[in-house]
Amino acid sequence: MDVILIGPPGAGKGTQARWLVEALRAPQISTGDMLRAARKAGTELGRKADTFMNAGKLVPDEVVVGLVAERLHAPDCAGGFLLDGFPRTIPQAQALDAELARHGRKVQSVVAIEVPDEAIVRRLSGRRTCGTCNRIWHLEFDPPPSPATCSCGGALVHRDDDKEATIRNRLKVYHDQTSPLAEYYERQGVLRRVAGDGKPEEVRGRIFKELGLR
């Protein structure tokens, strides 16, 4: 079974993806992870992606499409895959359709995790990262011993990624470029909308029910 996960930043796609790959016994293809790995390895692709990622912008379609097209042909994807963070634009979705069609396949299930903007801002802007041990806390949902200090004694940092202005910018990019995908897949009859509020386990239950998984 092939599953595509879409949703705004902070919707919990990464967490749900981990549960889904276990249930589907299929590999997870996350363009965000692939781009971060390329950036860390200092490859040409990583350098190309770096400026866009730092600015909270989308990496150009042709870069990401090339990356995914190659990955989809790996033997471990023959029985299915879980796409997380791709497609993010209509041209990417069209490229994916074309790529799958070349192999006699098509998109089967698209799960859209829906979370209101204000909830996203609340979720992400409360995050604090320990500069020493890298543990991530949340001021409201998983509070550290004190707002500025980790349990290891390290100082907590409010990363630029987690600041309200950056989050609102990423949400704008999402609404402008990614949310039209819901309609695109609705027209293909493969879209399943799932409410993303509540605990991660509750969201998981809704997704699994939609997909007929246990």
Residue 59 makes contact with ligand AMP by CB under 6 A = yes
Residue 96 makes contact with ligand AMP by CB under 6 A = no
Q: Are 41 and 119 in contact (CB under 8 A)?
A: no
What letter would DSSP give residue 178? I
Q: Which of 7, 9, 12, 196 lies at the binding interface for ligand AMP (CB under 6 A)?
A: 9
Q: How many residues bind ligand AMP (CB under 6 A)?
A: 15
Joined tokens for residue 29: 């293809």
To the query of whether residue 170 is one of the catalytic residues in this protein, the response is yes
159, amino acid identity = R
Pairing of strands 28-30, 127-130: unpaired
Which of the residues 57, 159, 172, 209 is marked catalytic?
159
Least spacing, CB of residue 37 vs ligand AMP, in Å:
11
Label residue 134 exposed, middle or buried (CB < 10 Å: 0-12, 13-18, 19+): exposed
Part of the chain binding ligand AMP (CB under 6 A), chosen from 85-93, 138-146, 192-200, 201-209:
85-93
Least spacing, CB of residue 178 vs ligand AMP, in Å:
9
Bond into 87 cis (ω within 30): yes
Query: Quick one: how far is CA 167 from the chain centroid?
Result: 14
List Cβ neighbours of 40 (8 Å cut-off, separation of 6 or more).
46
Q: Which of 11, 24, 35, 110 lies at the binding interface for ligand AMP (CB under 6 A)?
A: 35
Least spacing, CB of residue 33 vs ligand AMP, in Å:
7
Q: Report the C-alpha gap between 181 and 112 in whole angstroms.
A: 9
In sequence order, the β-bridge partners of residue 111 are 5, 192
Query: Half-sphere exposure (CA, 13 Å, Cβ side) for 120?
Result: 25
Least spacing, CB of residue 2 vs ligand AMP, in Å:
16
State which residue, 57 or 102, has the beta carbon closest to ligand AMP.
Answer: 57
Part of the chain binding ligand AMP (CB under 6 A), chosen from 37-45, 58-66, 97-105, 193-201:
58-66
Binding map of ligand AMP across residues 155-174, x = CB under 6 A, - = no contact:
--------------------
**Would you please indicate which residues are annotated as catalytic (active-site) residues?**
13, 88, 127, 159, 170
User: Which residues make up the interface to ligand AMP (CB under 6 A)?
Assistant: 9, 31-32, 35, 52-53, 56-59, 64, 85-86, 88, 92
